[in-house]
Amino acid sequence: MDGNGRWAKKYGKPRIFGHQNGVKAVREATEIAAELGVKYLTLYAFSTENWNRPAFEVNALMGLLVDAIKKEIQNLNKNNVRLQTIGDLSKLPAKSRNSLLDGIQKTKNNNGLTLILALNYSAKWEIVKTTKSIADKVQQGQLSIDEIDENYFANELTTGGIPDPEVLIRTSGEHRISNFLLWQIAYSELFFLDIFWPDFTKEHFLEVMMAFQKIERRFGKTSEQLKKNGDS
């Protein structure tokens, strides 16, 4: 969800104004994903690198997180959306962490879309954390090296049990991944939109979904193999 600050600058406003308006785009994306029957939507809300921003902006973002979750709980339940999170929550301010955990608790029985907020998240952090955890299990004799394969490693990530994303959307015109779900997006279709996040609407989401439907996803196979096996 990139471009909040630049969107605010375009209108001569402080950066937090962009973050505040970005909440509307979150609501739009969540609602249309739920309407379309999407099972998982992961939003990169705050990276580990974002701590390097000015303290007043970080504090404002944390406050905005608390307010947004409180205001959106009713809407999440209305749309049968379950809230989850990935990332190192231990570094978040207590008020932000408690608000997030409260939102998770209040939506835990919903069984439609799962909305995952990546907070204090870094793909490199996640991979290193997972590697250390697996190495510790081997060292303790709880796991043999031969038991470690791609599936085992994937299930040990913070997204264990969640399917890899089929689509990744980045706004603001930047063409990079910025340390997001590096393992999980190995076969994702990447869409880079030349708009700032506060301008993102349901129509943009639908356009991406329609484009995605036209893509032949081969996963290393040929088109002929897919047609023969009835996969396309």
Q: What is the set of active-site residues?
A: 2, 50
Q: Are 3 and 197 in contact (CB under 8 A)?
A: yes
Tally of CA atoms within 13 A in the half-sphere of 190 that contains its CB: 15
Q: To which residue do tokens 């439907």 refer?
A: 213
Print burial letters for 64-78: b (CB count within 10 Å at least 16), e (below 16).
Answer: bbbebbeebbeebee
Q: Which two tokens stand for residue 6?
A: 């630049």
Q: To which residue do tokens 């991944």 refer?
A: 177
Helices (H) and strands (E) in the chain, counts: 8, 5
Report the C-alpha gap between 222 and 215 in whole angstroms: 13
Q: Which residue type, as a one-letter code, is found at position 55?
A: A
Give the helix ranges, DSSP H, for 84-230: 94-106, 123-139, 150-156, 202-213, 223-229
Give 171's contacts (C-beta < 8 A, 6+ positions apart): 1, 2, 3, 193, 195, 196, 197, 199, 200
**Torsion angle, CA of 116/129/58/53, rounded to 10 degrees?**
-120
